[in-house]
Chains A and B, each alone.
Chain A
């Protein structure tokens, strides 16, 4: 009797895994096609929509660029300069000094001739107390506003303070050390201006800046990371943004706009309650709340992605920092589903409840669990001599070649968007990561995700730590 229960359990699980895999692979195929069509549409649109007319027009909406800074003294001046010189006619740059213990603020005050001012601050969104506000006495820096506040131990807290002080109807959430394309604002505002539905957020791909050459905040040479770990991350980013997010954007089912670069409708973000500083996945969390708010007020909305890479960021280059980051992401995902469990399968929340949440629940959240259980089962089969080796090898080859194909297609679509990197060798070097990913990188992701889930379920405290920036490769003066 016991044996037959076990037998049926195995058979059931085998069948379930089979359906699970077929579904996930079919979804990747669908995303591949959707992203191709969406990218093509976007490229064509850009061929006749001239962004320069936004620069001249008095009707172009204003944007508040919000960038929190914590102990960034080494690079703050160059970074703020590059934000101040973005190509856009109406914007402000709000630097939130999040209780830095180094001389970040002092450097800002000196370089940009800042003076302390009285500011009518509306603390609608929760954040740690703001101590002081600064504006420049020099007209050249009149777009800059610096906020000095108590450390809130999270980016969410700092961004909320920035939103509270923001003057314009849209805000760009970015990190102060991200290098943005000069036309980033011109690109990102387009989806907001071009749809009948209200677009509440827009994002664009991020890339890894670890081996790029940077001169005074300006990118002078783009190349894929030389070190293995960041290079795997670049491959992953390309696949996730170009293939994943562009595909989801085509059917208006984008799950997340990255905190490194996202343009948001301020009114909706405020109505949704702003960022949650307790969340480990604050960027996904705010988007869910914004979506819920729109569904509750019965207003049609869209979240869009554009295929142009507009932001370069430094990726963790040591295993320690990398796993810490991924553990946090894993934890954030569990927390998200716990906090917003009423959204799952709820028709009130339309696509959010019936497409985005189910997909992320089954194929993002549960994927590591399914995989770990599958691996354990496989070991059991091997030990019990139940494996049909020829078939097993065929199946493994199938999974391996399919994943390489998907990753390679992602690189192709990315090259179609823009011929990133200088030589074909660099491109193929990137593609080659797909061959090693299942053996080297994927186990890391798996391990980190499971650890993140366990940490959350067991209520362990998360150690934030610093990014431990190495700084970008600086060009010789």
Chain B
């Protein structure tokens, strides 16, 4: 052993390194196998615990919350808190299972059960740790806390959440914005003013869901944010909301922005105008068609079909006959079909005269089995 040790220092550098790394690799390999086994064992124990506790938790939640009788006012409802505490929710892992179950129930149920789930969460004092975690040093802790408060619908002092809107971590900022949209009583939409980086699509989906599920707040006129002073992603998001809430009054704001140089935004504006069936936009869309890139041309043809006033049938037929690119020909045909009764005669005429590819496109557009 001593001899090897003495010899070691006489070896060339790379041999010394190789030997050292080999020893580390062997020890490391052993540790890795140990970790794998420990990790699996931990997971297995967790699964067993969860399997044991979940039926009990579900039984209690369904009995006392989901199926709670509706004749008692919400504030007067009491829960057998000791029965819930007996599940062991003081322990971190049990608390986690329990809160995850509550969140899932809240996602799947609406109305009174949903409110009762929040009551149960606060009555059990589970929100205290969450609120405390809003100011913890670990970013993951803050994100989990925000997510829990949002999912459980528990409002806290807004001053605790405001600074998180400017946090360095992107997911904290997103969580804080979602919090305001979900739980703020007087300023749920003010986050739209503060956006300077793109509002990513995932966040738009989340926010859209939260806003459209909120019944207690007045929905503003989204024209306010459909303006060039706001970030294109904010405009795009508000277009989706305007369409969902069928805010026809946003039409003029959308038309005003049609001159934007941002091609993607222009395409979305045209799409929204179509879905809102803004008839006033028809002539403008027809006039601007020739100068547009492919994506906007496609949207214009689709929009004219959705608006369906009958005024652009001649234009659509012309594009059907003259356009070379099949997707554009297809959209022109589909838009004619979408005019239904208004275009019945025209379609018959076109079908009688069409041959080859044009005939195929017409058949495709008119076939109810094909949606796109």
Within the complex, the shortest CB–CB distance from B208 to chain A, in Å, comes to 6
Quick one: CB contact mask for A156-168 with B, threshold 8 Å, 1 for yes? 0000000000011
Q: How many residue pairs at the A-B interface have CB separations less than 8 Å? A: 139
Query: Are the C-beta atoms of A121 and B363 separated by less than 8 Å?
Result: no
Please name all residues of chain B whose beta carbon is closer than 8 Å to the beta carbon of A419 when the two chains form the complex: 39-40, 43
Instruction: Give the residue name and chain of the A residue nearest to B208 (CB).
Output: A59
Please name all residues of chain B whose beta carbon is closer than 8 Å to the beta carbon of A47 when the two chains form the complex: 144
Within the complex, the shortest CB–CB distance from A245 to chain B, in Å, comes to 20
List 6 A-B pairs, Cβ < 8 Å. Answer: A59-B201, A119-B364, A398-B25, A401-B25, A404-B29, A405-B29
Contacts A394-B22, A424-B37; A56 near B29 (Cβ below 8 A): no
Query: Are the C-beta atoms of B36 and A415 separated by less than 8 Å?
Result: yes
Query: Are the C-beta atoms of A431 and B36 separated by less than 8 Å?
Result: yes
Within the complex, the shortest CB–CB distance from B134 to chain A, in Å, comes to 14
CA distance A18 to B13 in the complex (A): 12
CA distance A424 to B41 in the complex (A): 9
Please name all residues of chain B whose beta carbon is closer than 8 Å to the beta carbon of A121 when the two chains form the complex: 326, 360
Contacts A18-B14, A401-B29, A404-B25; A117 near B369 (Cβ below 8 A): yes
Q: How many residues of A contact B (CB 8 A)?
A: 55
Q: How many residues of B contact A (CB 8 A)?
A: 58
CA distance A438 to B11 in the complex (A): 27
Given contacts A59-B240, A135-B369, A193-B200, 12 further A-B contacts (CB under 8 A): A18-B14, A58-B244, A118-B364, A122-B327, A192-B201, A193-B205, A196-B200, A397-B18, A404-B29, A405-B32, A412-B32, A427-B40
Partner of A167, one of B36, B202, B208, B372: B372
- Looking at A56, A394, A397, A405, which has the most chain B CB atoms within 10 Å of its CB? A405
- Using a CB–CB cutoff of 8 Å, the interface residues on chain B facing chain A are 11-12, 14-15, 18-19, 21-22, 25-26, 28-29, 32-33, 35-37, 39-41, 43, 107, 140, 143-144, 147, 171, 175, 197-198, 200-202, 204-206, 208-209, 240, 244, 325-327, 329-330, 333, 357, 359-361, 363-365, 367, 369-372
Instruction: Give the residue name and chain of the B residue nearest to A137 (CB).
Output: B369
Please name all residues of chain B whose beta carbon is closer than 8 Å to the beta carbon of A416 when the two chains form the complex: 39
CA distance A120 to B334 in the complex (A): 11
CA distance A44 to B143 in the complex (A): 10
Within the complex, the shortest CB–CB distance from B4 to chain A, in Å, comes to 10
Verify if A60 is at the interface (C-beta below 8 Å from B): yes
CA distance A431 to B144 in the complex (A): 34
Please name all residues of chain A whose beta carbon is closer than 8 Å to the beta carbon of B33 when the two chains form the complex: 408, 428, 431
Query: Are the C-beta atoms of A195 and B200 separated by less than 8 Å?
Result: yes
Query: Are the C-beta atoms of A53 and B206 separated by less than 8 Å?
Result: yes
CA distance A121 to B357 in the complex (A): 9
Please name all residues of chain A whose beta carbon is closer than 8 Å to the beta carbon of B360 when the two chains form the complex: 118-121
Query: Are the C-beta atoms of A401 and B43 separated by less than 8 Å?
Result: no
Query: Are the C-beta atoms of A56 and B171 separated by less than 8 Å?
Result: no
Verify if A327 is at the interface (C-beta below 8 Å from B): no
Query: Are the C-beta atoms of B29 and A424 separated by less than 8 Å?
Result: no
Query: Are the C-beta atoms of A196 and B32 separated by less than 8 Å?
Result: no
- Looking at A59, A122, A431, which has the most chain B CB atoms within 10 Å of its CB? A59
CA distance A119 to B330 in the complex (A): 10
